[in-house]
Amino acid sequence: MAAANIKEVARHAGVSVGTVSNVLNRPDTVAPATRQRVLDAITELGYVRNDSARQLRAGQSRTIAIVVLDVANPFFTDVVRGAEQVVEEAGAMLIVCNSGEDSARERRHLELLEEQRVRGVLITPVHHGSQPNLEKLIDRGIPVVLVDRGSGRASRCSVAVDDVLGGRLAMDHLLDQGHRRIAYLGGPFSIAQVAERHAGAAAALDERGDGAELRVATTTNLTVAAGRRAAENLLALPSRQRPTAVFCANDLIALGVLQEVTTRGMRVPADVAIVGYDDIEFAGAAAVPLSSVRQPREQLGRTAAQLLLEEDESGETHRHRHVVFQPELVVRRSSDHTR
């Protein structure tokens, strides 16, 4: 069956195209009898609106995009679910794009999204600095909301969790536990979260000033495998230099470290204590339940989507907002042997 268009429907129902369009978009402006005839024709022909034509005419699509660093990271999947709720309530559609922490892919996605004239973009950018393609979207008047990045920039809204505070919480806890040789694992530092969590940890350590030291081991990305590799190097150190505690930039890294440590027959937390970040669902179910810094993930997504819709509706009068949530430390056995 060839795809029927509005014209055929009109012919079939013995009305004009305009009327069919009205039935579709403002049903109450057309007489009941006519409306029914049109609806019958629609079902009979199996007519389905052509969204391209619609969008072309409207100049804008009804889809909102979210560009995340990693679709397979439970942190982002939860953010996506939160955003989804809000977007669907608003009758729009959310499409998920995966930059994979690769800024070339991110650029490609943004280009395509601009071509598609999406209604708005939620994004956790790969790099902190300004992204030309992102600026271009904004110039074009497409609302952009930064997710999980507290930008003070005036040109866009943002939602974020205070990563510096999160780093502090983790570090204070480890210091309280008596650790003095501590490592921070994560990377690349071009990812703002990685840098800020570190900054918080470093600041907390400085303020204590009790001679504890913080060693940094940079990873190439934030996956379980990367965590394992980083742990290998750390554990190879002579025991006098080896850190007694590790603070990881996210839970995937932390799980990798945990795997490597136990594989080598060392004990957590006795030999090495571990604190992760994100408190993903699997953290509590890990071999040794993982201490982690919890973030309100779904709420992050919901709020981001709300800000976006708000901006889209209010247009010129919109004032950009920056919402910052507070993280919370969840202590489990991986950093506290009394549990």
Partner DNA sequence: GTGGCTGGATGAAACGTTTTAAGCGCTATA
Partner DNA sequence: TATAGCGCTTAAAACGTTTCATCCAGCCAC
Q: Which residues bind a second copy (CB under 8 A)?
A: 1, 3, 46, 48-56, 61, 71-72, 74, 77-78, 80-81, 84, 93, 95-98, 111-112, 114-117, 136, 139-140, 224, 255, 258-259, 281-282, 284-289
Residue whose CB is less far from a second copy, 146 or 274: 274
Please state, as a whole number, how many other Cβ atoms lie within 10 Å of the Cβ of residue 221: 19
d(CA 169, CA 294): 11
* Positions 12 through 41 that interact with DNA (CB under 7 A): 14-22, 24-25, 29-31, 33-35
Tell which one of 36, 40, 50, 281 touches DNA (CB under 7 A): 50
* Main-chain phi, psi angles of 211, to 5 degrees: 75, 10
d(CA 165, CA 203): 10
Tell which one of 27, 40, 44, 58 touches DNA (CB under 7 A): 58
CB 30 within 8 A of CB 23: yes
Residue whose CB is less far from a second copy, 78 or 312: 78
Residue whose CB is less far from a second copy, 141 or 178: 141
Residue with tokens 């009394």: 338
Amino acid at 234: L
CA 86 to mean position of chain CA atoms: 15
Shortest reach from residue 186's CB to a second copy, in Å: 18
237 binds, among DNA, a second copy, none (CB under 5 to 8 A by kind): none
d(CA 152, CA 147): 13
Residue whose CB is less far from a second copy, 116 or 218: 116
Tell which one of 46, 59, 91, 315 touches DNA (CB under 7 A): 59
Residue whose CB is less far from a second copy, 65 or 175: 65
Residue whose CB is less far from a second copy, 49 or 127: 49
Residue whose CB is less far from a second copy, 115 or 210: 115
Shortest reach from residue 49's CB to a second copy, in Å: 5
The CA-atom distances, in angstroms, between 124 and each of 71, 97, 235, 300 are: 12, 11, 33, 12
Strands 322-325 and 157-161, sheet pairing: parallel
User: Residue 41, SS3?
Assistant: helix
Q: Measured at the alpha carbon of residue 254, what is the angle toward residues 268 and 147, in degrees to the nearest 5?
A: 150
Non-local (6+) Cβ contacts of 114 within 8 A are: 133, 136, 137, 140, 142
User: Residue 239, SS3?
Assistant: coil
Our finding on whether 122 is near DNA (CB under 7 A) is no
140 binds, among a second copy, DNA, none (CB under 5 to 8 A by kind): a second copy
- The DSSP element (H or E) to which 102 belongs, if any, is none
Shortest reach from residue 297's CB to a second copy, in Å: 10
Tell which one of 12, 41, 45, 47 touches DNA (CB under 7 A): 47
Binding residues vs DNA (CB under 7 A): 3, 5-7, 14-22, 24-25, 29-31, 33-35, 47-50, 53-54, 56-59
